[in-house]
Amino acid sequence: MADAYVAIEGDRVIEARARAPGTARGELVFTTAYTGYEESLTDPSYEEQVLTFSYPLIGNYGVREERFESDRVHPRAAVAREMTDDVAEWLESEGVPAVDHLDTRDIVTEIRDEGAMKCGIAAGPDVTEQDALDELHECKHMSDHTDIGAQVSVDDVEVHNESGDGETVALVDCGAKGSIVSSLVERDAEVHVFPYDASEDDVAAVDPDLLFISNGPGDPENFEQAGELVETYVGDVPLAGICLGQQVVANALGGETEKMEFGHRGVNQPVRDLRSNQVVMTTQNHGYTVADPGDKLDVTQVNVNDDTPEGLENDDLNIITRQYHPEANPGPHDSLGFFDDVLGMAGE
């Protein structure tokens, strides 16, 4: 008899095995990554989502804290075909429900056919199908999580590599992965990490050489303060952005963003540079994209699979953004040069 249930839109309920007890709800998404489950589970961009792993075995090389991208697990729940005890015990210690022994191929196919959908999960010895359905019926759309920035951002300014020899970077934390900060620090930058709702005065106090908008979860239109900083600094200070950061920059400069059907989540997304015609493999995790970059940004890179914008630039205004994750944790290292490019731009 099943001791866990996954309820998805249309009130379909899937039986499973409980690996970490509890109830949860969120947007049901999948990642195609075959390694990097620790990084994915601690990626703030998965806030308010239920993460399904398409790779069948999760946990085959244990759990090591040095691989974490933040200080906690961010998905509301985890779903796998088979999950090891190491991962299950870690998720239980974090209070995050987890289930396995279900056909994740079927879930992935349904998401690809129907799009990302609301989900409810109930796991444990005393749960019922109705518990999962109750969670499903209380689930909100991602765009309705208007306060999601507060759930993933720092509360106060943090400084990394203080008095570094390189450029001073004002990083607006909309849910930044730790490896983004590390990638900048490794290049001698002094990184000031600001809350997602930082004011112009807050940022001006450090006299930055570069304004950097980070990745993060949810709808970019819910990060209005970050967009206002872009409007304030454009043309005066170089601008950079990753993932949600690209979307925030585009919105602030007259472009438009939209919700994708099921997003890009994995470590094998092919991206073509329109100038060199070179294709690189990238790590991605996003459910929104730039639908129209507006007239201030040029599309310089596109996704090979669906032609969505992967890179936006303006040489005159010193702007470089990427939809994918150049820090590559986990994933291929094809695009690590992004950090050299933006810091070089800041130092001109």
Catalytic positions, please? 243, 325, 327
Any known ligand binding at 216? yes
Asked whether residue 305 is marked as a ligand-binding residue, the answer is no
Tokens of 284: 């991605």
Q: Tell me if 287 is assigned to a ligand binding site.
A: yes
Distance CA 11, CA 63 (A): 34
Asked whether 8 and 14 are in contact (CB, 8 A), the reply is yes
Q: Is 247 annotated as ligand-binding? A: yes
Assign 172 to helix, strand or coil. strand
218 assigned to a ligand binding site: yes
> Is 285 annotated for ligand binding?
yes
In degrees and rounded to multiples of 5, residue 338 shows phi and psi of -55, -45
Pick from 28, 46, 55, 26: which is nearest to 267 by CA? 55
Structure tokens at 209: 């050489």
Residue 192: strand, helix, or coil: strand
Q: Transcribe 309-330 into DSSP letters.
A: EEEEEETTTTEEEESS-TT-SS
Distance CA(59)–CA(108), nearest Å, equals 19
Q: Rounded to whole angstroms, how far apart are CA atoms 17 and 15?
A: 7
Q: Is residue 279 classed as helix, strand or coil in its secondary structure? A: strand
Region class of 294: left (phi > 0), else alpha (psi between -120 and 50), else beta: left
Query: Which residues line the annotated binding site?
Result: 45, 216, 218, 244, 247, 285, 287-288
Query: Which residues line the annotated binding site for L-glutamine?
Result: 45, 216, 218, 244, 247, 285, 287-288
